């Protein structure tokens, strides 16, 4: 069974201020993955030049796979 820490007087973790870079390193770069995912899967293709779009998509997808 899971035990929950209810010692609210222990503010050790609450007193720490972390930068977004520090938080991302702990979270595995979620912000960058989310941005790449959004660009990969929700990009408007109407105004894209097809060869350029494919090259950009392949580059983003390769980068996304490295992050996952």
- Domains contained in the chain, number: 1
Is 1 part of a structural domain of the chain? no
Residue 21: pLDDT band with limits 50, 70, 90: confident
Does the pLDDT at position 13 exceed 80? Answer: no
CB-based contacts of 24, cutoff 8 Å, min separation 6: 30, 31, 32
Integer Cα distance of 43 and 6 in angstroms: 45
Is 41 part of a structural domain of the chain? yes
* Per-residue pLDDT, 25: 67
- Measured in whole angstroms, how far is the alpha carbon of residue 56 from the centre of its chain? 19
Does the pLDDT at position 14 exceed 60? Answer: no
Is 4 part of a structural domain of the chain? no
Integer Cα distance of 40 and 54 in angstroms: 11
Q: 26 or 43, which is more confident?
A: 26
Task: Using alpha carbons, select from 4, 60, 1 the residue that is nearest to residue 32.
Answer: 60
Is 53 part of a structural domain of the chain? yes
| Number of CB atoms found within 10 A of residue 11's CB | 9
* Per-residue pLDDT, 57: 79
Average pLDDT over residues 46-63: 76
| Parent domain of 60 | 29-67
């Amino acid at each position: 069974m899971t035990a929950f820490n209810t010692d609210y007087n222990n503010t050790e973790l609450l007193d720490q201020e972390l930068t977004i870079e520090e938080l991302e390193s702990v979270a595995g770069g979620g912000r960058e993955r989310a941005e790449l995912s959004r660009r990969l899967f929700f990009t408007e293709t109407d105004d894209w030049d097809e060869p350029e779009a494919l090259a950009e998509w392949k580059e983003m997808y390769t980068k996304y796979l490295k992050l996952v």
